[in-house]
Amino acid sequence: AQKITQTQPGMFVQEKEAVTLDCTYDTSDQSYGLFWYKQPSSGEMIFLIYQGSYDEQNATEGRYSLNFQKARKSANLVISASQLGDSAMYFCAMTPYSSASKIIFGSGTRLSIRP
């Protein structure tokens, strides 16, 4: 079965602290892509970061980095120096390359940043 698991339904973090959002995945595909999206209260899904299954280095985009541990099938998102604007729902997602259309989303983690 192909599945994304996000075990943290909600998190509270103090402003300026770093935060790690957990994501584990399950797939039999050897090739796949991993993504994180942010969904603020406005509802739009904002692409944050991508990691390919064959990428040896962890992806980084500004304050976002993806801690990719292939053997453990984990793809945690790390946000450094959190800001109030980071408060949102965060979704981990995966595209198994055996399917042209499929993208599998996790259930999401609601992150709240305290001032």
Partner 1 sequence: GAGVSQSPSNKVTEKGKDVELRCDPISGHTALYWYRQSLGQGLEFLIYFQGNSAPDKSGLPSDRFSAERTGGSVSTLTIQRTQQEDSAVYLCASSLGWRGQGQETQYFGPGTRLLVL
**Which positions touch partner 1 (CB under 8 A)?**
31, 33, 35, 37, 42-47, 50, 52, 91, 95, 97, 100-103, 105-108
Smallest distance, partner 1 to C-beta of residue 58, A: 14
Please identify, using beta-carbon distances, which residue of 17 and 61 lies nearer to partner 1. Answer: 61
Our CB check for partner 1 shows the closer of 25 and 35 to be 35
Give the list of residues 6+ apart from residue 56 with CB closer than 8 angstroms, or none: none
Find the shortest distance in angstroms from Cβ 113 to partner 1.
20
Smaller CB distance to partner 1: residue 12 or 47?
47
Output the six-digit token pair for 6: 């996000």
Geometric angle at alpha carbon 62, from 45 and 46, rounded to 5°: 5
Beta-carbon contacts of residue 7 (< 8 Å; ≥ 6 apart): 22, 24
CA 31 – CA 53 distance, rounded (Å): 6
- Find the shortest distance in angstroms from Cβ 63 to partner 1: 19
